[in-house]
Amino acid sequence: MSADDVRRAIARISHEIVERNHGLDDVVVIGLQRGGVWIAQELAAALGRIENGRSVPVGSVDVSLYRDDVGLRPLVPGSVTTIPVHLGGKTVVLVDDVLFTGRTVRAALDALGDHGRPRAVQLAVIVDRGHRELPIRPDFVGKNLPTSRHENVTVQPNGVVLR
């Protein structure tokens, strides 16, 4: 995917979010540290443009203290959780760059639960690369990208790279 493809994917997903939720009432956008954070900010900005400049709460969640493989992945200092509002009763759009095994998303669901009981959690990702290990599926997808397990996918504003 090129930079334009990423930008278009974010624009399309933002329209899908508005359509699915019949507007933006109680919608909060939360990016997963660290790759999902800039995408969440772009999405929130795009959502605001669609609904006449309305501001959408945007935050981030660090799941390294919740992972089932704590001890296998080091915590990245500096990527601290920021939740702008109490999540009770809100519709949380959880945003990540790549959906792979689903374990990070599972950890994020646990983490969000400590900030209130959302009415619903929806999942938006730029790339779904398959290989799920848990029963988790995305609500909004930029692109389905078939990969092998040992390949590496990075999503940046200037495009998606598969190595």
Partner 1 sequence: MKHLLDIGVLTPDDLHHLMALTDHMVEVNQRPIPKVPALRGKTVVNLFFENSTRTLTSFDTAARRLSADVMNFAVSSSSVNKGESLRDTIETISAMGVDAFVVRHKSSGAPMQVTKWTNASVVNAGDGWHQHPTQALLDCYTIRTHLNRRTGFDGLHIAIVGDIKHSRVARSNVQAFTALGAHVTLVAPPTLLPPAVETWPVTVSHDLDSLIAKVDVLYLLRMQRERMVDALVPSLREYTGAYGLTPLRAARLRPHALVMHPGPMNRGVEMAVDPSELPGSMVLHQVTNGVAVRMAVLFELLGSGADLATSA
Q: Is 163 in the site for partner 1 (CB under 8 A)?
A: no
Q: How many other CB atoms are there within 10 angstroms of residue 68's CB atom? A: 10
Site for partner 1 in 47-106 (CB under 8 A): 62, 64-66, 69-75, 77-78, 80-82, 86
Give the angle subtended at the CA of 26 by the CAs of 25 and 27, to the nearest 5°: 90
Task: DSSP for 28-65, please give it.
Answer: EEEEETTTTHHHHHHHHHHHHHHTTT----EEEE--TT
**Complex with partner 1: residue 90 or 115, whichever CB lies closer:** 115
Number of residues that bind partner 1 (CB under 8 A): 23
Closer residue to partner 1, CB minimum distance, 9 or 98: 98
Smaller CB separation from partner 1, 87 or 141: 87
> Which lies closer to partner 1 via its Cβ, residue 52 or residue 148?
148
114 binds partner 1 (CB under 8 A): yes
8 near partner 1, rule: CB under 8 A = no
Rg (CA), the chain: 15
Asked if 54 contacts 48 with a C-beta cutoff of 8 angstroms, the reply is yes
